[in-house]
Every structure is written in structure tokens, then in C-alpha cells.
Amino acid sequence: MHSVGAPVPGPYETVLVDRPNEGVARILLNRPARRNAINVQMMLDLETAFRQFEHDPDVRVVVLGATGDSFSSGHELDRTPALDAEWEARRATSEGRYLVEEELYYSKSLYLRDYPKPTIAVVHGPAVAAGWTLASVCDLVVASSKARFQNPMCRMAASGPFLLVEPWDLNVRKAKELLFTGDWLSAQEARDFGFVNQIFSDDALEAESLKLASRIAEMPAWAVRLVKRSLNNVLDQMGQRTSWEHQFVVRQLGHASTERGELLGKLKKEKSVRGFINARDKKFGKVPDDGSRKS
């Protein structure tokens, strides 16, 4: 979906990087055949790419987008690649699972949230679970009119995501509705709640998002950096970081539930990721994925 300029030097297996405009770097999730599902390699590539630009004085804004038809379908459910299997083996005990999830997902997500330079998520198509979180930890979110968001963790008997971003992106009552049901949130509804900053058509999304990035890149960089730090401190004073720490611990407790063990045992008998998702969602029926509700 998105064009990419000359690659920045650096071997990345799951992301593409370029500098489309002066002062702007762009990182694109690049597993389109897997709907940009987030595996171990992608988390490592993302951190490396962001760190590469962190101390580059010529980069003042970083845009995070994706190739293909989806922003991200969330965490990879098929953990067969060697690197995924290696990290999965470290999760064999409760202690190991805690440490792996803390290092690989929780801490890296906080790094992106606290990134010293402005970041803009450009979302087209679905942003599911960890994909939603990835967009959420960016400073601004620009979306296609066809973008949509979902967190179906409760449908998998999981006690929520790594970072509980939904009540901060929306409000607590809407977050409860979406998490309790696993329903979709449309781009327009996300904008109405203030989660999405701007919406554009698919055809205009790339150009408009880069136009916004370039406007920010023209601002005095140090001033923007300090303002971002102060604004994040406002969220911290309101309890955002503390709430995320609590959620991460609650998630670990949820791993041990009998309910989750029994459900995952049934779902893992499916022979494909599509079969897994269909088995997970079939009892809930067809729910509109555009944010609309039938009376």
C-alpha cells in the first residue's frame, strides 16, 4: 500500500525504513503475508530501527506505518519460526513467562511511548490487540477511513493486553464495552473519542500523514522534545504508568487460570491460524466491524 524510498542501511527482516521527507524517518511493519502479525523478530527490529533514529540529529519525527492491507493483526499466533520458538522455550515456567513478556513486550512498548522524538502512527485496515497498542504508544494517530481497532483478548480468556491502553485512548466505559465483547471500533468512532487525530481516505493517507510529519519536523526540535516529556508526565501524574504496571501483573495471574488453559487447549487443536480465530469467535456471531451497532 505504501511506497518506500531508499532504505536506510541496516539489516531488518520484518520492517522497512526510509526517509521520505527532510527531517522525517519512516518505519514500516513489513510482514504483509501475515497481516503484519508481531513476532519476536519484529519487536527486535522495531527497537533497533527506533534506536537508530533516536540520536540522529537529521531525524526530528518518526512515522510508524505498515505495508499490505493491515496495520497489524496483533501478536503472531503461529510461533513456529526458530527465534519465536527460542523465546517461547524461555516461557516454560511462570517466572520465565513473566521475564520474557516484560523484556520483549512491556518494556519495549514503554520505550516507544517514552521515545524522545515525536512519533506518528499511520493506521490503515485492522489494528488488533498488540497492533492497537503499537499505534497507541505513538504520540499521534492518523488513520484511513477504513481503519478499525479491536482487542479480543477476553475472547481468549486472557486478562487483557500487556498495556491497558483502551481506557486512556477512549474512556473507561467504552473500554469496558470493547474489552468485554471483543467488538470492533471504527476509525470515525476512534476519532470521536480523541484516540485518532485525523482521518483520510486510503488514497490520501500517505501524503497527508507525511505532510503532518513535515510540519512537526519544522518546529524547534528541543522545544517539542521537552513538551512531549511534560505531556507524558501529565499522563504519569494521572496514573497511566502505574495502571499499566498493575495490568501487566494481572495479566501474569490470568495466564494461570483454569478457564484460559481449557479454552486454549481447545483452540490449539485447530490446524491453522484462521481456524483458531474462527473457533474463538464463532459463538459471538457476525458483529459489524465498522463500529456500527444493530438495534
Q: What are the domain boundaries of the chain?
A: 15-202+220-284
Best CATH choice for the domain 15-202+220-284 from the list 3.40.190.290, 3.40.190.10, 3.90.226.10, 3.20.20.70: 3.90.226.10
The SS3 assignment for 33 reads helix
Q: State the DSSP string of 54-104.
A: HT-TT--EEEEEESTT-SB--B-S---SHHHHHHHHHTSSHHHHHHHHIII
- pLDDT at residue number 266: 77
Burial 28-40 (b: 16+ CB within 10 A, else e): bbbbeebbbbbbb
The predicted structure's pLDDT at residue 284: 80
- What lies within 8 Å, CB to CB, of 12 at 6+ separation is 30, 45, 48, 49
pLDDT of residue 272: 66
- Residue 122 has what pLDDT? 98
* C-alpha–C-alpha distance, residues 35 and 50, integer Å: 21
pLDDT, one tens digit per residue, over 200-215 is 999 999 999 999 999 9
In single-letter form, the type of residue at position 72 comes to S
Beta bridge partners of 38: 75
Give the pLDDT score at 77: 78
**Residue 267: what pLDDT?**
66
With contact defined as beta carbons under 8 Å apart, do 147 and 127 qualify? yes
With contact defined as beta carbons under 8 Å apart, do 221 and 197 qualify?
Answer: no
- For 153, residues 6+ apart whose C-beta sits below 8 A from its C-beta are 129, 159, 160, 161, 179, 182
Question: CA–CA separation, 253 vs 262, rounded Å?
Answer: 15
User: What pLDDT was estimated at residue 207?
Assistant: 98
Beta strand 61-66 with 15-21: parallel, antiparallel or unpaired?
Answer: unpaired
Strands 15-21 and 24-29: antiparallel
Compute φ and ψ for 137, nearest 5 degrees. -80, -5
Structure confidence at residue 9 (pLDDT): 45
Whole-number Å distance between alpha carbons of 1 and 43: 22
Q: Which residues of the chain have pLDDT under 50?
A: 1-9, 287-295
**Confidence at residue 109, expressed as pLDDT on a 0 to 100 scale:** 96
